[in-house]
Structure 1
């Protein structure tokens, strides 16, 4: 039960374990009644109940205020409350809490994307924790096995290299649901704007001629456009446990945003943007593995970046693109060349992000010579070993401002 409290972020709540189980069982029963309930709502519900005197009316009020978001769900809540508790009272000690295990189907709610798993015909196999030796003040445990929350939540934090075949399939399904809101940049084009900063003289004069008096002045401002993103993914042998999932992630982003360019590299750089246009990710992975000759081979990051800087950078980075390098930093090439090309790439890009799957390993330190050569020029050094880390990257990209923050090195060409 202590592990359950930690997983649900309830460690600070002083409430009996059997009461906690019954409250979470009610939220599960409420979900089965057709009400959508999120993990944060369940946490707020339990925290709110812990602050009350455990009177039935108080708990019901807390439940309505935390678990219900829509007016049409109020009747469902009232019906679920009556059916689940069957009119039994809850005293301050919690000793008369009713037992409705047969109604709640496992007591604890499987939260966060269970409905998504059902829609996609995915297996739901929630983990369990034995609480048969865990007792509260009354030495009562209404159930020996308490079902933890959604297996998707556990999967989010699991390293890609440790996923089973079934978990890999589920992880791919979850990646397909990710959506990237592209960061924006100010273009040179001006468009009408009510709160614009530049006076639209022509439109103001036309209005004056049309209405024979100056009714109001018109303004315009610079238009916002999606900022281009360039992804360069390492597909060498050391990245083999992560390469297919990361290419799947690149494919998902590319389907919704044409302003994303994709490359892979090992001993040389290969552009795969055109391959990403297929509607079948399995065909994409097969074609990439067939056409990329250095798949699962060695790594020459410096040479690959040199190819990008001399052949592709002028065309793809001229409007301030974000460059994302995905690699563990194991490099068998020229380290001095890597350092020079990283410096050049940073000057040309709006933001330079390095994603390292090993960063999610406990105790990891960036000591390889490739990472040490690249670190002085990286704006963001992040992990990319799990679904949660990919979600964190999507959030970071969404929040990148249109005005560039100070760089680690001399910014050079400002865009």
Structure 2
């Protein structure tokens, strides 16, 4: 089909080259986050036969009509179209997108880096390496891949390039938490609970012949999750990584509510629903004045307990408290509000980046005030520790909840990691 125009010598004689470029452009958009398939490249080639390929606006409109599924994808498509089809210095702009910019105390610039990640992944092939020796073949299976090594790196020790790679790993992952079994029953094809009413109605429709049984089984739902994230100066790098992880949970349709606290409490659940994670984090950091500032954990918990606890902690909700606990003001208030939060929540999981140190001991007053009221204490300093939450949150702690209510004064019930 493509070669017919070339043999006829018509205006589309160079279509095979255009076909390769269109296919490459569709792959670039797919790597940038668009939900495209090889059929979209075929449709794009068919659409370009119906427009004047010498008119740039017509080509842009034709391709946009095929690949865009929402208005939020338009800026990314326009940037990819300009870089791929028109701009001769697209490599220079790519380096500018990947170049880290450090502004002391200023929020990061508002831009989307998915296009930069997709272009960086499509570099020219490197020259073939010489054949490996026998010794190299023996030692290669014992090495770790770059992704495995990056997942074990501390967030605070990452370079700018490693930080971009880590964001890409979190962005491409769709985390799913376990489902929670409820007492409600719903219709099912098979099961142990017979639905007599539905079976009788089916028999009536079949002229009194009881030919098939209807069943019901327990319905499952996603348990609600509430995140309280510390954004003080000592937690800024870890908070940014946790925000990217929360964005992945939000895109997976998890029942998640996110609150940030430094010197004040801020609800960012709606802002985190932005499809592009870079834009979501940029908007969040831009509207917060206490990012990387001081911390008042007790006052923030008091504000949450009085204004948000009853609305967000229903239905066996789990609270994820992400903080290092280094608060030296109003320790009595911190203990009282943690005790009140414990009565509201089904379970409290404390994620503390300080657990990355093997010899960590709870000596700070803030840590000692929080520790007796939590059900689990886990690290949160690298990607592996965040991904381990999926396994932790799959156990909803029914027996543990009863034991906790029976002995409210008992300290942390799991073995601390420093022992």
TM range (shorter): 0.5 to 0.7
Name the SS of the counterpart of 1:224 in structure 2.
Answer: strand
Residue aligning to 1:354: 350
Which SS does the other structure have where 1:282 is aligned? helix
Stretch moving more, 355-364 or 240-249: 240-249
2: CA distance, partners of 1:294 / 1:263: 13
When the two chains are superposed, the root-mean-square deviation of aligned CA atoms in Å is 3.1
User: In structure 2, how many angstroms separate the alpha carbons of the residues matched to 1:142 and 1:268?
Assistant: 58
Note the residue ranges of structure 1 that are not aligned, 5 or more in a row.
1-116, 124-139
TM-score by length of 1: 0.60
Rate the CA distance shift 1:312–1:406 in 2: closer, same or farther, 3 A: closer
Please show how residues 15-164 of structure 1 align to structure 2 within 5 Å: 121=121, 142=135, 148-164=143-159
Rounded Cα–Cα distance in structure 2 between residues aligned with 1:406 and 1:266: 29
Pick the aligned partner of 1:306 from 302, 306, 319: 302
CA–CA distance in structure 1, aligned partners of residues 118 and 275 of structure 2 = 23
Q: How does 1:243-322 map to 2 (within 5 A)?
A: 243-322=239-318
How far 1:118 moved relative to its partner? 9.5
Pairwise CA distance, 1:255: 1.7
Whether 2:218 is the aligned partner of 1:234: answer no
Aligned residue for 1:136? none
For residues 273 and 398 of structure 2, what CA distance do their matches in structure 1 show? 31
Q: Deviations over 1:137-175 (max 9, x none)?
A: xxx995699664312221111111011111111111111
Which residue of the other structure, out of 392, 395, 402, is the alignment partner of 1:400?
A: 395
Name the structure 2 match of 1:174: 169
**Cα displacement (A) at 1:336:** 2.2
Q: Equivalents in 1 of 2:122, 2:386: separation in Å?
A: 21
Structure 1 CA distance, aligned partners of 2:400 and 2:330? 30
Report the CA distance shift for 1:370/1:178 in structure 2 as closer, same or farther (over 3 A).
Answer: farther
Q: Structure 1's 278 and 370: CA in aligned 2 closer, same or farther, altered over 3 A?
A: same
Structure 1 residues 277 and 207, CA, compared in 2 at 3 Å: closer, same or farther?
Answer: closer
Question: When the two structures are superposed, what TM-score results if normalisation uses the length of structure 2?
Answer: 0.60
**Would you say the 8 A contact 2:177–2:390 is kept in 1?**
no
The number of residues matched between the two structures is 280
Higher helix share: 2
Match of 2:81 in 1: none
Contact 2:176–2:249 under 8 Å retained in 1: no
Pick one of 360, 363, 367 that aligns with 1:367: 363
For residue 336 of structure 2, the aligned residue among 340, 359, 380 is 340
Alignment of 1:385 with 2:381, yes or no, is: yes
Corresponding residue number in structure 2 for 1:225 = 221
CA contact (8 A) 1:184 1:401 kept: no
CA positional deviation for 1:383: 0.4
Runs of 5+ consecutive residues of structure 2 not aligned to the other structure: 1-116, 124-132, 409-419
2:190 corresponds to 1:205: no
Which residue of the partner structure matches residue 165 of structure 1?
A: 160
**CA separation of 1:365 and 1:299: change in aligned 2, threshold 3 A:** same
